[in-house]
């Protein structure tokens, strides 16, 4: 347990110490205000609530419970800085294993003040906010263009634009006002993301690390899948694009979505196992035979 040194003389804390609960004080002037609990390395409790009688039963506070192994690992690294290394405040350093993670489809950035300097991130958000508003207003005036706000990114659709080339050119002009952003094309859509934002390639790497997988098979048909296809991992990644595209980094391609089921059946048939089970695999035109070099 880590806590504010000024409160080490409280009766409840003395009771814990008397029962051999190890407690480390911060020994610094700054207030220990980051209240969190890590449970079973899989969930985090955090928020404004103090873990006291008045904090729980009398004061107006909030407590958030988040189930995420990666978030728990990030918080555990922060705890270790204080509990094991006795590093508090600015001397803590940046050691979070997952500074940007995904929780139920939402990207979450983990920053601990003051050592992770969250003020720099806030300043950047404030600096880009006026440009975002201006760009959104300009985009809204383009016929047939709609903006999908995904929270940490934008999807600008121009499928309904009568003149798609002109609409795309005006979208590019408007998004240029946002400053340094990453644009990812799609099927009549442009995705606008912050530079350095997590992508599918990073998500695959994290999933493999968590599951302990040496090899992965990845099939995709979208421009955002190119972040996976671009990973240079011979023998560890089988990358397959749905639909041929000369500029794709995928190693192989299949003709269409209908061949994915045949591909999966072929892969299952190749798995080591009883000969009888392999013989039961459907004898159709397997996608493994239909694979073509991209």
Give the mean pLDDT of the chain: 80
Residues contacting residue 112 through CB under 8 Å, at least 6 positions apart: 34, 78, 92, 96, 118
Q: Which of 47-61, 102-116, 196-210 has the lowest mean pLDDT?
A: 102-116
Residue 43 pLDDT exceeds 90 = yes
Residue 228 pLDDT exceeds 50 = yes
Q: What's the distance, CA 100 to chain centroid?
A: 5
pLDDT of residue 137: 63
The token pair that represents 272 in the structure block: 């080591």
Residues contacting residue 8 through CB under 8 Å, at least 6 positions apart: 23, 25
Q: What is the pLDDT of residues 82-91, one digit of tens each?
A: 888 888 776 6
Highest mean pLDDT range out of 98-112, 115-129, 207-221?
Answer: 207-221
Q: Is 114 exposed, middle or buried (0-12, 13-18, 19+ CB in 10 A)?
A: middle
Residue 284 pLDDT exceeds 80 = no
Pairing of strands 216-220, 237-242: parallel
Q: How confident is the model at residue 242 (pLDDT cuts 50, 70, 90)?
A: very high
Q: What is the pLDDT of residues 197-206, one digit of tens each?
A: 778 888 888 8
Residue 44 pLDDT exceeds 60 = yes
Taking residues 95-104, report their average pLDDT.
66
Residue 152 pLDDT exceeds 80 = no
The token pair that represents 119 in the structure block: 């003020």
Percent above pLDDT 90 for the chain: 13
Residue 136 pLDDT exceeds 80 = no
**CA distances from residue 149 to 14, 169, 184 in whole angstroms, order as listed:** 51, 20, 15
C-alpha 268/C-alpha 277 separation (Å) is: 10
Spell out the domains of the chain, with CATH numbers in brackets.
2-109 (3.30.870.10), 118-193 (3.30.70.1020), 200-293 (no CATH)
Tell which phi-psi region holds residue 162, choosing left (phi > 0), alpha (psi between -120 and 50) or beta: alpha
**CA distances from residue 66 to 1, 16, 101, 189 in whole angstroms, order as listed:** 20, 26, 13, 33
**Residue 38 bridge partners (DSSP):** 44
The token pair that represents 242 in the structure block: 């749905």
Taking residues 16-45, report their average pLDDT.
86
C-alpha 12/C-alpha 221 separation (Å) is: 58
Where are the strands (E) in 68-203, listed by range?
100-103, 106-109, 146-149, 154-157, 181-185, 189-194
Q: Which of 100-104, 120-124, 211-215, 280-284 has the lowest mean pLDDT?
A: 280-284
pLDDT of residue 134: 55
pLDDT: which is higher, 279 or 105: 105
């Amino acid at each position: 347990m880590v806590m504010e040194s000024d409160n080490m003389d409280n009766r409840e804390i003395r009771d814990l110490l008397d029962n051999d609960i190890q407690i480390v004080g911060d020994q610094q002037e700054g207030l220990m205000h980051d209240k969190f609990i890590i449970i079973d390395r899989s969930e985090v409790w955090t928020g404004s609530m103090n873990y006291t009688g008045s904090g729980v039963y009398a004061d107006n506070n909030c407590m958030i419970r988040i189930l995420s192994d990666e978030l728990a690992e990030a918080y555990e690294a922060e705890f270790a800085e204080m509990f094991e290394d006795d590093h508090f405040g600015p001397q803590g350093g940046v050691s979070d294993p997952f500074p940007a993670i995904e929780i139920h489809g939402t990207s979450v950035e983990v920053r601990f003040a003051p050592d992770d300097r969250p003020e720099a991130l806030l300043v950047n958000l404030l600096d880009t906010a006026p440009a975002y508003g201006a760009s959104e207003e300009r985009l809204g005036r383009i016929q047939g263009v709609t903006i999908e706000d995904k929270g940490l990114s934008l999807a600008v659709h121009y499928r309904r634009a009568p003149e798609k080339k002109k609409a795309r050119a005006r979208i590019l002009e408007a998004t240029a006002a946002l400053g340094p952003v990453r644009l990812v094309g799609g099927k009549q859509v442009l995705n606008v993301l912050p530079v350095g934002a997590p992508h599918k390639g990073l998500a695959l790497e994290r999933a493999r690390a968590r599951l302990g997988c040496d090899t992965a098979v990845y099939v995709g048909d979208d421009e955002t899948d190119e972040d996976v296809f671009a990973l240079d991992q011979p023998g560890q990644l089988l990358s397959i694009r749905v639909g041929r595209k000369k500029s794709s980094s995928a190693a192989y391609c299949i003709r269409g979505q209908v061949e994915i089921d045949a591909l999966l059946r072929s892969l299952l048939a190749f798995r080591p196992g009883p000969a009888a089970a392999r013989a039961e695999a459907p004898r159709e035109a397997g996608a493994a035979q239909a694979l073509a070099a991209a």
